[in-house]
Structures are given as structure tokens and as C-alpha cells.
Amino acid sequence: MKIGFIGLGVMGRPMAARLIDAGHELFVSRVRAISEFLVGAGATACASPRDVAEAAAVIILMVPRTEDVEQVLFGPDGVSEGLRPGALVIDMSSISPIATREFAKRIAALGASYVDAPVSGGDAGAKAGTLSIMAGGEAADFERARPLFEILGANVNLVGSVGAGQTTKVANQIIVAGTIQAVAEALRLAEAAGADPAKVRAAIGGGFASSKVLEVHGQRIIDEAFDPGFRIRLHHKDLEIAMTAAESLNVELPVTARVKELMASAMQAGLGDLDHSALFVQLRNAHETGQ
Amino acid sequence: MKIGFIGLGVMGRPMAARLIDAGHELFVSRVRAISEFLVGAGATACASPRDVAEAAAVIILMVPRTEDVEQVLFGPDGVSEGLRPGALVIDMSSISPIATREFAKRIAALGASYVDAPVSGGDAGAKAGTLSIMAGGEAADFERARPLFEILGANVNLVGSVGAGQTTKVANQIIVAGTIQAVAEALRLAEAAGADPAKVRAAIGGGFASSKVLEVHGQRIIDEAFDPGFRIRLHHKDLEIAMTAAESLNVELPVTARVKELMASAMQAGLGDLDHSALFVQLRNAHETGQ
């Protein structure tokens, strides 16, 4: 299939490579030097997102921010200028669910379809094709995208209509953020009280406190292994999306707001490129500086 | 074995009943009408904690608060007045880890031993003998208590020295509280954004957001099944212990502090006797009242 792929970053490159390996013909734009290997591997470099859209019936986006999606779709030489009637836009970026619904309306007005399909699983999941993919859109559009999703992910779900994929990703990031901070606070208190955090973790790991975060990030905290993983900086970005969505929906997210502030403080303290489990480091530092 | 058991409330009654069923001879005080069945079942009613201590070599406490433990141990007609040399005090209440170390010192000065052994698992776990028991104390004292713990619990751990059991319980309650609030915020945002919270939960349940709380309390939120379970009022009490310990150890627990405030607000709004998953209800109410 002729597939447009826009956004060849840390996530996009291995995803695009998997699609090429599966026999698809890729049209890419925004090709940086680091992504030229994809062109060597058989992808066709295009001058702009418009050219990508003219060449392909399915266009996948994997870019950092809501503004990037808007620019790629509707900016000068954007996808919307070259979009074929009946084309399918699949946005796999992690962006605002509210803006997503607006983008989908504008794409629909051009006679094309839109599926939002953000992922979790990181670059390791992108390389291995084991991403979790949380999709929103019409069932028929999802079915059209499904063969591609199955090349990229291991856990593929249509959650609801357009925007539901982004909403699900935001929900995921809210839970992971709050749980990591709670685990960090628990283990920090245990440490300060003279208990062995590893033994505390083992004792509570079978009950209501048990979670993937206690298992993975709890172990990182005990081992002081804070190389990313998923960077505090990127998780902060996701919580910005959460808070923006919450404000526009008039919803209160008090703990999410607090963790977002804590992540911002961690970034200011130079911890932004550490794994999000390094929220623990900030708690320890707060103690040392008497804050 | 002759066992003193002080505190025959919702948790203490079924625990004492299990010990009687296992063939132990119980001496109880603070017998309310509702607990007289235990006396019928073979427990001996004593006039005071002192009388209990005079009759038994092992004295188990299961009372609500730090002040109650202090009163039972060191108040007028308290355990300390009747304590035999070589006796073992096992405090299974959930109280301050800091005060626990102080109580243990005072008991040791009387020639007796002290193990703190708070539990999780609720009255259902107490009835079924499947409590998680988190113990702190000397290994020899723990071994002496272990046969009793195995009648009461299914997951029994010696975490460290005296106080480590209470520290572990506090860590557990911090994690459960933060995780429930995070899950509630995620599902509240999903609901407000028009996504189906049940589908959102299913889509993220296999990844880093997965937890026992997402499984159990997430389902409660989706079903709006807020009958306790574990009451907001009791969890708030546990977070008060957490914050008091944190202050005396000069540790910052920003999310725990926030969830404690939210639980206090929920209690003021009349939600205190609902299950802690009803923190979700408060988020929904905040929206309706435009707070």
C-alpha cells in the first residue's frame, strides 16, 4: 500500500521501518539526515506534506505536539492541500483530544477520513512492533487502518469515536504520573523512617498497592536507575495536554495538576531528561535542602 | 495459648473468632454487647487491659488510633500495669510508626517484647484469614507471633525492626490513595470528553497504567458501586498518620497531602462513609457546582 509517513523522530523512524519491512511503499517528508536511511531502505522523499498526501491514500502522522499536527495538516504545503478524496489520515502523535476532533472535522470536510491512534510503549515498543495503540474513529476507518496497526502494535483497541484515542492516552498518562508520584512518596517515607524500601515494596506488592508502576518504577527507585525510559520532560508535556483538555471541559484534576507542577520543578532542577521515576530524586532533594 | 485480645471492633471480632476457632484461650476487655458472642464462644471477659495482661502471655491490640493504643497500654488499668515479664505485645492497629517505636521502648523497659503488625485486607480478609500482615520487630519475637499471624493472614512479612510494619502500612495507604485519585481523575476526564470509561479502562489495562486499583476501584467507578469497602473516613485517618510521620521526619509528600485534603472535602460533602473510590464522585460534583 502507498503510505504517507510524516514525522520521523525517535518513534516515527522505527515505525516507518516496520511498515517498509512489511512491504509497504512509503512517502515521507521532513526527512532529516538521521532519517535518510529510510529513503535508502525504499521510502520516497517528498518535498512537503502536500506532496506526501498527493502520493498516498493513507497518511500517518507521528509528530511531537498539537501545533505540529495542525501545521502538517493545515499549514502551507500541508496535507490538506494535496489530500485525495477518500484518503485516510491516521494521527499517531500524542496530542489534544479536543483539537483532534476539530482537525477530524476539517479533514472530513475535504472528503477524507481521520483516525486518532496515539501509542504507548516507547521506542522499544516501536522497534519490536509491540506498541499499545489506542484508536478513535469510525469503525470502518479503524478496520482500514487495522492491518497497519497490527504491523506496529501488539495491543490495538478502538475505544470510541474520533478523539477517544487521544483521551485514552491522556487517561493513561494521568494514571501513570499519579501512581509514580505516590510510589515515590511511599518509598521516600519508608527510607526516611529507616525501613528498607525493597522490603516494603515486596511486602505490599501482592495487595491493593500492587501495580505495574510499583513493579517497574519501584524497582528503578530502589536501584536508583533513572536513565530513561520515559523522560520527565515528555511526561510533563502529556500532563499539559491533560490540563488543557480538563480546562476546556471544566473538569478538576487536582492531583494531575500537582504532579505537573512537580515535574516542572524537576525540570528546573535539571532532572527533565531522567526517567519519570526520578520524581523520587526530587523528594529526596527537597529533604536535603529543607524545602 | 492464652492470648489477650483488646479491641473487638469490625476487624478485631472476626480475628478473635478465628483465634478461638483455632483452639486458643482468649482474654478480652472492652467487651461491648455486640462482642458478647465471643464470650459465649469461649473468650473470658476481663475488667480492664491490666487484667488481660495479667492473664495472658501474648496480648494483641486492634484499636482505632494511636491514642487508643497509648491508652490501652499505658493509661489507668492499662496493659503495662499487669504485664508479665517475657510477655509479647502485638499491636495490629494501624497507627503512627514514630509513636510505635516509643511504645516499644516503654514496653521493653518493663521486660516484655513488642511487635507492630498492622494489616490490610479489610473485614472480609479478617473473616477469611487472608489478611496481609506487615510486621516490625525482632526476628525472635516475630517467630513467636508467626503461628498466630498464620491463623489471621495469608501474606505475612517481617519487614524490619519495630515500627517498620507501621511504616509499610503507611506506604501502602499512600500508594492506594494516590492511585485511586489518579484513576478517578483519568476516568472523570474520559467521561467528560465523551469517551466510555469502561472502554478506556480496558484499553489501558495491560500497560503501565495497570494496577489492582484500576482493576477493582476502576470497576467500582464504572459501576458507580460506592458502598464500602474501605471508607474515605478511614483512609483519611491513615493519611493523617502519613503526614504526621512525614512532618516529624522532615519529608515532603505533596500528592499525599493533596489527596488528604480531597478526602477531607469529601467527608465535609457527606461522602466519608462511602468507599474511597467515591473520590470520583467528588470530581463529578466539582464539575456540577462549577468549583
What is the pLDDT tens value at each position of chain B, 291 positions in all?
A: 999 999 998 899 999 999 999 999 999 987 665 567 677 788 999 999 999 999 999 999 999 999 999 999 999 999 999 999 999 999 999 999 999 999 999 999 999 999 999 999 888 999 999 999 999 999 999 999 999 999 999 999 999 999 999 999 999 999 999 999 999 999 999 999 999 999 999 999 988 999 999 999 999 999 999 999 899 999 999 999 999 999 999 999 999 999 999 999 999 999 999 999 999 999 999 866 654
pLDDT score for A74: 98
Does A40 contact chain B (CB < 8 Å)? no
Q: Domain A167-289 adopts which CATH fold? A: N-(1-d-carboxylethyl)-l-norvaline Dehydrogenase; domain 2 (1.10.1040)
B38: exposed, middle or buried (C-beta count within 10 Å: 0-12, 13-18, 19+)?
A: buried
- Tell me the HSE value of A12 on the side-chain side, using a 13 A CA sphere: 29
Q: Select from B168, B182, B245 the Cβ nearest to the Cβ of A203.
A: B168
Q: Select from B97, B185, B287 the Cβ nearest to the Cβ of A256.
A: B185
CA A168 – CA A197 distance, rounded (Å)? 32
Catalytic annotation present for A260? no
Listing DSSP states for A139-178 in one string gives HHHHHHHHHHHHHHEEEEEEEESTTHHHHHHHHHHHHHHH
CA B225 – CA B220 distance, rounded (Å)? 5
CA A154 – CA A125 distance, rounded (Å)? 9
Alpha carbon of A93: minimum distance to chain B alpha carbons (Å): 17
C-alpha cell recorded at residue A182:
505516590
CA B17 – CA B8 distance, rounded (Å)? 10
Q: Is the CB of A206 less than 8 angstroms away from the CB of B132?
A: yes
Does B192 contact chain A (CB < 8 Å)? yes
- B207 with A172: CB under 8 angstroms? yes
Q: Is the CB of B195 less than 8 angstroms away from the CB of A242?
A: no
Beta strands in chain B (DSSP E): 2-6, 25-29, 44-45, 58-61, 88-91, 113-116, 119-120, 131-136, 153-160
Alpha carbon of A37: minimum distance to chain B alpha carbons (Å): 31
CA A182 – CA A259 distance, rounded (Å)? 10
- A135 with A117: CB under 8 angstroms? yes
Does A102 contact chain B (CB < 8 Å)? no
What are the catalytic residues of B?
169
Nearest CA in chain B to A244: B189
The residue from A169, A199, A212, A237 that is catalytic is A169
pLDDT score for B275: 97
State the virtual CA torsion across A39, A44, A49, A52 in degrees, nearest 10. Answer: -150
Phi then psi for B5, rounded to 5 degrees? -135, 115
**How large is the ipTM?**
0.94
Tens-digit pLDDT profile for residues A75-91: 999 999 999 999 999 99
Q: Select from A209, A253, A262 the Cβ nearest to the Cβ of B185.
A: A253
For the segment A30-38, the average pLDDT, to the nearest whole number, is: 68
Q: Is the CB of B132 less than 8 angstroms away from the CB of A209?
A: no
| Residue B211 with chain A: CB contacts under 8 Å | 175, 179, 210-214
C-alpha cell recorded at residue B143:
517467630
Q: Is the CB of B200 less than 8 angstroms away from the CB of A167?
A: yes
Residue A240 has pLDDT above 80, yes or no: yes
Find out whether the peptide bond into A12 is cis, omega within 30 degrees of 0: no
- B178 with A181: CB under 8 angstroms? yes
State the virtual CA torsion across B59, B62, B67, B70 in degrees, nearest 10. Answer: 10
CB atoms within 10 A of CB A263: 28
Task: List residues bridging with B2 in a β-sheet.
Answer: B25
pLDDT score for B143: 98
List A residues 150-179 in contact with B (Cβ-Cβ < 8 A).
155, 157, 159-161, 163-164, 167-168, 170-172, 174-179
- As a residue count, chain A comes to 291
What b/e sequence results for B181-199 when a residue is b if at least 16 CB atoms lie within 10 Å of its CB, and e otherwise? bbbbbbbbbbbbbebbbbb
Where does A2-162 sit in CATH, by number? 3.40.50.720
Backbone conformation region of residue B129, classed left if phi is above 0, alpha if psi is from -120 to 50, else beta: left
Tens-digit pLDDT profile for residues A95-113: 999 999 999 999 999 999 9
Residues 6+ positions from A184 with CB-CB distance below 8 Å: A217, A221, A277, A279, A280, A283
Using alpha carbons, list the distances in angstroms from residue B90 to A217, B60, B103, B141.
33, 5, 11, 9
Alpha carbon of B196: minimum distance to chain A alpha carbons (Å): 7
Alpha carbon of B74: minimum distance to chain A alpha carbons (Å): 24
Block residue for cell numbers 497497519: A148
Using alpha carbons, list the distances in angstroms from residue A239 to A66, A215, A264, B186.
13, 22, 10, 11
C-alpha cell recorded at residue B194:
465523551
CA A93 – CA A234 distance, rounded (Å)? 13
In chain A, ranges of CATH 1.10.1040.10 domains: 167-289
What angle (nearest 5°) sits at the alpha carbon of residue A155, between those of residues A260 and A135? 65
Residues 6+ positions from B285 with CB-CB distance below 8 Å: B269, B291
Report residue A42's pLDDT band, with 50, 70 and 90 as the boundaries: confident
Tens-digit pLDDT profile for residues A164-213: 999 999 999 999 999 999 999 999 999 999 999 999 999 999 889 999 99
For the segment A227-251, the average pLDDT, to the nearest whole number, is: 96
| Radius of gyration in angstroms for the set of CA atoms belonging to chain B, rounded to a whole number | 20
CA A94 – CA A175 distance, rounded (Å)? 16
In chain A, ranges of CATH 3.40.50.720 domains: 2-162
Block residue for cell numbers 470509561: B197
Q: Is the CB of B193 less than 8 angstroms away from the CB of A97?
A: yes
Q: Is the CB of B179 less than 8 angstroms away from the CB of A256?
A: no
Q: Select from B210, B255, B262 the Cβ nearest to the Cβ of A259.
A: B255
Q: Select from B168, B182, B206 the Cβ nearest to the Cβ of A175.
A: B182
